[in-house]
Amino acid sequence: MKEDDSLSKKILVVDDEKNIRLLLKEELQDEGYDVIMAENGAAALEMIQKEVPDLVTLDIKMPGEDGLSILRKIREIEYDLPVIICSAYSVYKTDFSAVAADHYVTKSSDFSELKNKIQEILSYKS
């Protein structure tokens, strides 16, 4: 991706695991994105209203409120905000609630699927 393609595109990474958040931040910043992070759903909802990201990557399994519940709340406040579920659990792909997400990516050490989906969604959104 050319850096000017992603200029000012802000991505919110929501994951309770700090190492995952930092790794995703580094990977996405290398692609030229502005990356903000939240460690739980409440922080994510606050960041969405304060920072107005262009896209959200959202983990499902988090302490407290899970990602699917947060996804429903995101849809209530910012219906058109693209959300990619990014979970280690592929079983949720068939969960009806996950259908409300724009895409579902199973976490792995290879971020190419996630990066491709982000690029695809953001280029379509522009």
Identify which has the larger pLDDT, 71 or 7.
Answer: 71
Per the structure, the count of domains in the chain is: 1
Task: Give the CATH number for residue 70.
Answer: 3.40.50.2300
Q: What's the pLDDT at 42? A: 95
Distance CA 54, CA 63 (A): 25
CB-based contacts of 4-9 (< 8 A; 24+ apart in sequence)? 4/32, 5/32, 5/119, 5/123, 6/31, 6/32, 6/33, 6/119, 6/122, 7/32, 8/34, 9/33, 9/34, 9/54, 9/55, 9/122
Mean pLDDT within 21-25: 95
Domain that holds residue 119: 3-125
Q: What's the pLDDT at 3? A: 45
Give the pLDDT confidence of 86-115 residue by residue, as tens digits.
877 665 555 545 557 777 787 777 789 999
Give the number of other CB atoms < 10 A from CB of residue 95: 15
Residue among 24, 9, 26 at smallest CA distance from 107: 24
